[in-house]
Chains A and B, each alone.
Chain A
Amino acid sequence: MSASWPWRELGLDGPADDRAVRRAYAARLKSIDRENADAFQALRTAYDAARARSPKPMGKRPSMAEILHDTPPAPATYNDLMPAATSKTPPDATPLAPSPEAVPEPESTPEPGNAPAPVKEPFPDTPTIADLDQLNETWPHETKAAFMKHLRASIFPRYGGQTKDLRSLLSLDMAQEFEFRRQIEWQIFNMLEQSLRNNGGDPVNLKPNLGRALDYEFGWYSDGVGFQRRFRGRQATQQIIEKMQSAVGQSAAPPKKLSSTKGLHYVAAFLVSWALTALSWGIKAGDYDLNDVAALALFVLPTMFACWFFAAIIFIATDFIFLRVLRPLFGKRWNDLRRRSPRIGRIDGIMFRAMHNSESREKIVIWMAAAILCTASIAISLL
């Protein structure tokens, strides 16, 4: 199938209008083996290519940028639309600074066509979030600008907003309209991208609770595939995803430590047990005198090891009791119990962390093995 001449695949002679392309596609679709992925895909590709080039009967849906240009938002947000143009702008505080005269803007005065009745009350200087819905009925442009200003403050709290304002903003009736909602999403992305540029690539402003709110409203993480598709090719997309993950993802467990102390423990356990064994066998062979320092070491170290050994056994037994017996026994009430008695809670927490982290479990096993080996070999040497 040639992508440059898709009409052949459809059985058409050449470029045709949308209706003819659709008809040709329908006819072909009925004749091919529709279970055959390759045949279907070839037809489908041709169809999409042919439709993309045929004059559309109805107006194409406006693109995101068109939508944004259509409704004049606050001036700062305008710049954000064109990343190339804003690359020279000073830190994000400047273009986004809330200046009292920024709203209402001259360019956002309604056009004569839908000019408001002259008798209505003037647009307030600083409308509250709760007022926006009502204002939107008479002052659509100004209200949208004010909305964007509140939006900025909710993303960057230094402008006097709070993250939770985002929820209230997005649950306004005016924010339910699909096109405007898209505009809002785009705007938030632009603001974050801007701040990212000014912070050397670290999305410091994307705090976990903002991340959760954005995922709830727009699915920036849970629908990451859609998010990446909408913001494909934008600089900030990947960094935002990374940051979103730590806020929302179930895989948000702290990132794995790159350096592991496991090896160190292996070496130390080996050296200690080797030294102890050598020492005890050396004493047996008569190389050392029992009365010098080695004697002390021989007495102290195995004792320490024995303590270690018993501690590990107690540890594992406690773990067993807590995790395998008590938790299932109490079921949901276990959490209540933990809350009521901080001590039980703390022990349970330590146990859980220690035994459910494979590395710490491995370390416990290494030292137990070393202790058993040493005790055994010393016991044999002393007999």
Chain B
Amino acid sequence: MKQLPIGIDLGTTNSLIAVFENGAPRLISNALGSALTPSVVSDLDGRLIVGEAARDRLATHPRDTAAVFKRAMGAKTQFKIGTRQMGAEELSALVLRKLKADAEADLGQPVRDVVVSVPAYFNQGQRQATMDACRLADLNAVRLINEPTAAALAYGLQDRDGESRFLIFDLGGGTFDITVLDHFEGVMEVKASSGDAQLGGEDFTTALAKTMIETAGIEWSDLSRDEQIQAKHLADGAKRRLGLSETHDVTLRLKRGETALTLTREMFEAACAPQMRRLRRPIERCFYDSDLAASEMDRIILVGGATRMPMIRQFVTRQFGMFPNSSIDPDHAVALGAAVQAALVAQDAALDDVVMTDVSPFSVGLSTAEALGNGRFVDGLFTPLIERNTPLPASRERYFSTMQDNQTGLRVEVYQGEAPKVADNVLLGEFLLSVPRAPAGQEGMTVRLSYDGSGLIEVEATTANDKGGLVIKQNAPGLTEAEIAKRLKAMEKLKEHPRDAEENTALLARIRRLYEMASGDDRTMLSQILVRFEAALADQDPQEIDRARGEISRQLDAIDDYYVS
């Protein structure tokens, strides 16, 4: 049987997996019954756990837990988990493995081919790292899709025959993307994408945490790393609460003592002013590039959990003069869209009349030199062949001539980026070509650059006596085959927590987190709950465990509500 089309949203805070079946995408829940699996990995007595339980351990065991690693994709940053050191690719692979296991349990068939979403503003290195993570999780990413484009597909499918221009405002946990789309006659055409790969909900949380600590009269830098993580955790809860009410009381418990604070929405907004300012540039850029005006938008769609913040909604409403639309849960849209894209790639019959064209998020070009006239040159100039926001697939040809008499070689260096000097852009690859000797400017090369919808970049250069080329694949991992094999082997050795015990592990982690947060009598009560649950686990009677779990969950919900509100 052919594998069903699967789409994955590998997020900064949460990850989701969706399947396309019976003509529509559907989210697959994890063992805890939730579609959202927190992208957090934790070490529990030598075993690695992923998801809800790991997230709760972030507050109690920050040294054994890693989160927000998507930010470090493609960088060499190593995360410490207990005694291990892991890179962002490996950690993401663990999350992907968990999603894969959930999907396999749900569908009853092995999952291999998937479409994975990445922020539109991810560069080639970051995209490669995402591909590597898939490989490490034994998944074959047939295509990477830009997150806002995926969200647009999810919305576009709701209203197939509609005709509209819309703007996708995607503020996730760690990244911000903005995309303008034109939807007509079943064609979803991305007009322009822009974004900021280092701006997301986590930055708003950090800003609130800092304000909180400073209001308490403490310097942020004086806190230990663990305390900072705790403060951020507290701020995260407060951020959610401030979305619903104007004020929120928190109790800071630090080593130096307790402080009770009242946070207001105003304080939060003041703290986030710099982040709000950073939202504007990508939007401006997007309108410049698409040659459309804000007033020409028919719909504004909000995607990403961070768009739940009232200040973001207000900002969007003010800026575009209309109320935003989020009829699909902002957390779900990207995964659903990724599944639609998977179905498009697999040429699912249900989507015969749907076409999607995307654009290149970055400019791609060559390093060139220019004569200043008096025999001097400036080199290292960036000459884009395919400018950003060109519809894909695209192919451009250009002629470059020699700069010096009797020049014998030409170096073709391919860069990605927007800065006018190549030194500030990302090098994708290079090669050398020979050229016949001749006076300057008489010989040269024709360079052809092609960029296809799956992110494949091909460069071909021809001179009178030589020919050369280069293929820059997204699908070709940044790591070599040998390295992948080595890392895969290392990953095999990692013990993951058994899936059937996941609910219990999650509950235990939750009790412990609440215990840390609570004080006085509540603590005593929680420790009693913990003892009771551990006893039930020790008895190994599944029915009894189930019953205890249900009961305790209800109690914990009540405590959670009390403490966070």
Give the B-binding residues of A (Cβ under 8 A): 22-23, 25-27, 29-30, 34-38, 40-41, 44, 58, 61, 171, 176, 178-179, 181-182, 217, 219, 221-230, 241, 244-245, 249-251, 258
With known contacts A22-B184, A224-B419, A178–B393 Cβ distance under 8 A: no
Q: In the complex the two chains form, is A225's CB within 8 Å of B384's CB? A: yes
Q: In the complex the two chains form, is A249's CB within 8 Å of B424's CB? A: yes
Q: Which residues of the partner chain B approach A178 to less than 8 Å between Cβ atoms? A: 283-284, 287, 293-294
With known contacts A35-B453, A224-B382, A228-B420, A41–B355 Cβ distance under 8 A: no
Q: Which of A58, A223, A229 has the most CB of B within 10 A?
A: A223
Q: In the complex the two chains form, is B285's CB within 8 Å of A219's CB? A: yes
With known contacts A22-B184, A178-B293, A229-B387, A250–B424 Cβ distance under 8 A: yes
Q: In the complex the two chains form, is A44's CB within 8 Å of B184's CB? A: no
Q: In the complex the two chains form, is B382's CB within 8 Å of A36's CB? A: no
Q: In the complex the two chains form, is B391's CB within 8 Å of A44's CB? A: yes
17 contacts between A and B (CB under 8 A): A26-B185, A26-B187, A26-B355, A29-B355, A30-B187, A30-B353, A38-B395, A171-B277, A219-B281, A219-B418, A222-B418, A224-B382, A224-B418, A224-B419, A226-B285, A227-B420, A241-B420
Bound form: Cα–Cα A217–B280 in Å: 9
> Does any Cβ of A come within 8 Å of B487's Cβ?
no
Q: In the complex the two chains form, is A221's CB within 8 Å of B419's CB? A: yes
Q: Which residues of the partner chain B approach A258 to less than 8 Å between Cβ atoms? A: 376
Distance in angstroms from A103 CB to nearest chain B CB is: 27
Give the A-binding residues of B (Cβ under 8 A): 184-187, 277, 280-281, 283-285, 287-289, 291-294, 296, 319, 353, 355, 357, 363, 376, 380, 382, 384, 387-388, 391, 393-395, 418-421, 423-424, 450-453
Q: A178-B287, A258-B376 are in contact. List 13 more A-B contacts (CB 8 A).
A: A25-B187, A26-B185, A34-B355, A34-B393, A35-B453, A37-B395, A61-B291, A61-B292, A61-B293, A176-B280, A225-B420, A227-B420, A230-B288
Distance in angstroms from A63 CB to nearest chain B CB is: 10
Closest chain A residue to B384, Cβ basis: A225
Q: Which residues of the partner chain A approach B289 to less than 8 Å between Cβ atoms? A: 226
Q: Which residues of the partner chain B approach A171 to less than 8 Å between Cβ atoms? A: 277
Bound form: Cα–Cα A228–B549 in Å: 62
Distance in angstroms from B491 CB to nearest chain A CB is: 29
Q: Which residues of the partner chain A approach B281 to less than 8 Å between Cβ atoms? A: 217, 219
Bound form: Cα–Cα A228–B376 in Å: 23
Q: In the complex the two chains form, is A222's CB within 8 Å of B424's CB? A: yes
Q: Which residues of the partner chain A approach B319 to less than 8 Å between Cβ atoms? A: 176
Q: In the complex the two chains form, is A222's CB within 8 Å of B419's CB? A: yes
Closest chain A residue to B448, Cβ basis: A37
Closest chain A residue to B352, Cβ basis: A30
Q: Which residues of the partner chain A approach B357 to less than 8 Å between Cβ atoms? A: 29, 34
Q: Which residues of the partner chain B approach A182 to less than 8 Å between Cβ atoms? A: 284
Bound form: Cα–Cα A332–B384 in Å: 38
Q: Among A22, A34, A217, A249, which residue has its beta carbon within 8 angstroms of that of B419? A: A249
Bound form: Cα–Cα A221–B423 in Å: 12
Distance in angstroms from A294 CB to nearest chain B CB is: 47
Q: Which residues of the partner chain B approach A37 to less than 8 Å between Cβ atoms? A: 393-395, 450-452
Q: Which residues of the partner chain A approach B388 to less than 8 Å between Cβ atoms? A: 225-226
Distance in angstroms from A331 CB to nearest chain B CB is: 14
Q: Which residues of the partner chain A approach B355 to less than 8 Å between Cβ atoms? A: 26, 29-30, 34
Closest chain A residue to B315, Cβ basis: A176
Distance in angstroms from A195 CB to nearest chain B CB is: 21
Closest chain B residue to A39, Cβ basis: B393
The secondary structure that dominates the B interface is: mixed
Q: Which of A38, A40, A182, A217 has the most CB of B within 10 A?
A: A40
Q: In the complex the two chains form, is A221's CB within 8 Å of B420's CB? A: yes
Q: In the complex the two chains form, is A22's CB within 8 Å of B185's CB? A: yes
Q: In the complex the two chains form, is A61's CB within 8 Å of B296's CB? A: yes
Distance in angstroms from B197 CB to nearest chain A CB is: 13
Closest chain B residue to A40, Cβ basis: B393
Bound form: Cα–Cα A224–B450 in Å: 22
Q: Which of A22, A29, A38, A178 has the most CB of B within 10 A?
A: A178
Closest chain B residue to A223, Cβ basis: B418
Bound form: Cα–Cα A95–B258 in Å: 63
Q: Which residues of the partner chain A approach B420 to less than 8 Å between Cβ atoms? A: 221, 224-225, 227-228, 241, 244-245
Bound form: Cα–Cα A203–B453 in Å: 42
Q: Which of B187, B285, B388, B393 has the most CB of A within 10 A?
A: B393
Bound form: Cα–Cα A223–B514 in Å: 47
Distance in angstroms from B405 CB to nearest chain A CB is: 19
Q: In the complex the two chains form, is B280's CB within 8 Å of A26's CB? A: no
Q: Which residues of the partner chain B approach A176 to less than 8 Å between Cβ atoms? A: 280, 319
Q: In the complex the two chains form, is A249's CB within 8 Å of B423's CB? A: yes
Distance in angstroms from B389 CB to nearest chain A CB is: 10
Distance in angstroms from B37 CB to nearest chain A CB is: 33
Bound form: Cα–Cα A229–B388 in Å: 11
Q: In the complex the two chains form, is B393's CB within 8 Å of A41's CB? A: yes
Q: Which residues of the partner chain B approach A29 to less than 8 Å between Cβ atoms? A: 187, 355, 357
Q: Which residues of the partner chain A approach B294 to less than 8 Å between Cβ atoms? A: 178
Distance in angstroms from B411 CB to nearest chain A CB is: 17
Closest chain A residue to B280, Cβ basis: A176
Bound form: Cα–Cα A205–B419 in Å: 22
Distance in angstroms from A101 CB to nearest chain B CB is: 35
Bound form: Cα–Cα A35–B355 in Å: 12
Q: Which residues of the partner chain A approach B384 to less than 8 Å between Cβ atoms? A: 225
Bound form: Cα–Cα A182–B419 in Å: 20
Q: Among B284, B292, B418, B423, which residue has its beta carbon within 8 angstroms of that of A251? A: B423
Bound form: Cα–Cα A35–B394 in Å: 10
Q: In the complex the two chains form, is A35's CB within 8 Å of B387's CB? A: no
Q: In the complex the two chains form, is A245's CB within 8 Å of B421's CB? A: yes
Q: In the complex the two chains form, is A41's CB within 8 Å of B395's CB? A: yes
Bound form: Cα–Cα A223–B281 in Å: 11
Bound form: Cα–Cα A250–B391 in Å: 30
Q: Which residues of the partner chain A approach B296 to less than 8 Å between Cβ atoms? A: 58, 61
Bound form: Cα–Cα A218–B388 in Å: 17
**Interface pairs A-B: 6 shortest CB-CB:** A251-B423, A224-B420, A26-B185, A37-B393, A37-B395, A225-B418
Distance in angstroms from B356 CB to nearest chain A CB is: 9
Distance in angstroms from B108 CB to nearest chain A CB is: 33
Bound form: Cα–Cα A38–B281 in Å: 33
Bound form: Cα–Cα A245–B384 in Å: 17
Bound form: Cα–Cα A248–B488 in Å: 41
Closest chain A residue to B365, Cβ basis: A225
Q: Which of B293, B353, B419 has the most CB of A within 10 A?
A: B419
Distance in angstroms from B365 CB to nearest chain A CB is: 8
Q: In the complex the two chains form, is B450's CB within 8 Å of A26's CB? A: no
Q: In the complex the two chains form, is B184's CB within 8 Å of A26's CB? A: yes
Q: Which residues of the partner chain B approach A61 to less than 8 Å between Cβ atoms? A: 291-293, 296
Q: Which residues of the partner chain B approach A26 to less than 8 Å between Cβ atoms? A: 184-187, 355
Q: Which residues of the partner chain B approach A34 to less than 8 Å between Cβ atoms? A: 355, 357, 393, 453
Q: Which residues of the partner chain A approach B452 to less than 8 Å between Cβ atoms? A: 35, 37
Q: In the complex the two chains form, is B184's CB within 8 Å of A225's CB? A: no
Bound form: Cα–Cα A223–B196 in Å: 12
Bound form: Cα–Cα A217–B281 in Å: 7
Q: Which residues of the partner chain B approach A228 to less than 8 Å between Cβ atoms? A: 420
Distance in angstroms from B421 CB to nearest chain A CB is: 5
Closest chain B residue to A244, Cβ basis: B420
Q: Which residues of the partner chain B approach A181 to less than 8 Å between Cβ atoms? A: 284
Q: Which residues of the partner chain B approach A219 to less than 8 Å between Cβ atoms? A: 281, 285, 418
Distance in angstroms from B535 CB to nearest chain A CB is: 47
Distance in angstroms from B539 CB to nearest chain A CB is: 50
Q: In the complex the two chains form, is A250's CB within 8 Å of B423's CB? A: yes
Distance in angstroms from A215 CB to nearest chain B CB is: 10
Closest chain A residue to B318, Cβ basis: A176
Bound form: Cα–Cα A225–B419 in Å: 6
Q: In the complex the two chains form, is A251's CB within 8 Å of B293's CB? A: no
Bound form: Cα–Cα A34–B287 in Å: 26
Q: Which residues of the partner chain B approach A225 to less than 8 Å between Cβ atoms? A: 363, 382, 384, 387-388, 418-420
Distance in angstroms from A156 CB to nearest chain B CB is: 25
Distance in angstroms from A280 CB to nearest chain B CB is: 44
Q: In the complex the two chains form, is B423's CB within 8 Å of A226's CB? A: no
Q: In the complex the two chains form, is A30's CB within 8 Å of B186's CB? A: yes
